[in-house]
Structure 1
Amino acid sequence: MLMLRRTKNFLNAHGVEYEKEHVNPLMVPERVYVLKFGKRDGEFLNRFIVEHSYTWTGRDKINKITLRLHGQKHPREFANEAKLLQYLEKHADRYVKKQGNKKAGKNS
């Protein structure tokens, strides 16, 4: 299954570690896919929660993608992966690894 393939490629390109798992709740027909990222002190703090189901032809259908950042009270919800990637690209400076090439500071 290629769930969130473009998002995983984006995280890999920016040096962000992640861990994935499937959760199958017993009481609802949707399946849940969890992608944890943003490791600090050995724990993943942030996560994408994808609620998906299958169509009658067997294809995956994403119902909702929820982005829950560490300490966030109101998670962000996205209808599809394209909207999620737009948000990630806009706010990439919050969670990507700091690169070795720092820009000039105040003394320049």
Structure 2
Amino acid sequence: MLRFLTYSIIIYINSFFNRFDNSSIKCWEVFIILSRTKQYLRKNGYFYKKEYIRPLLTPDNIYIFRFGRDRLDNRLIIRYSHKWTGRQRINEIDLRLHKQKHPRIFENESELLNYLEGHLLKHEAKVRAREAEAEKENKVSDGASK
């Protein structure tokens, strides 16, 4: 009987710590977000600039990540706070592409990167199509004037 109680207590304690470890994975997401996002942007030829802000009136810290090819007009805003253990907890991830006023809010980095991959590729295709049309118009107008 004593062995059974000891064994059940050990299982209960292990399950408690396993739940604690699984929840702490999200705590370190700020560093993971930064590294994976930086890798993705570097790979696709984007430049970036980062800033840390600590507002005085709120307990949240803010990490602002500006990126773009020619101009830094896209923003990734990460609001995070600290747990009582000192670990970081992400409260909100906002993405504002092309100076949007209303952000897209994501819960984790994988959703953010999936959206970036799809949207940035579509946006680049539109920009290339506009550039190609502008070049065609320039060639036609140059050819007609000669």
Q: Which category describes the TM-score, using the shorter chain as reference length?
A: 0.7 to 0.9
Q: Which has the higher contact order (CA 8 A, sep 6+)?
A: 1
- Tell me by how many angstroms 1:4 deviates: 2.1
Greater helix fraction, Structure 1 or Structure 2: 2
AA in 1 matched with 2:118: K
User: Percent identical across equivalent pairs?
Assistant: 47
1:32 to 57, 62, 66: 62
Cα contact 1:51–1:63 (8 A) shared by 2 = yes
Equivalenced residue count is 95
Q: Superposed, which structure 2 residues align to 1:14-93 within 5 Å?
A: 14-40=44-70, 43-93=71-121
Deviations 1:20-47 (A, max 9, x none): 010110000000000000143xx41111
Gaps spanning 5+ residues in structure 2: where? 1-29, 129-146
Cα contact 1:4–1:81 (8 A) shared by 2 = no
Three-state SS of the structure 2 residue aligned to 1:26 is coil
- Tell me by how many angstroms 1:5 deviates: 1.5
Partner of 1:102: none
Q: TM-score, length-normalised on structure 1?
A: 0.77
Gaps spanning 5+ residues in structure 1: where? 99-108
CA RMSD of aligned residues (A): 2.1
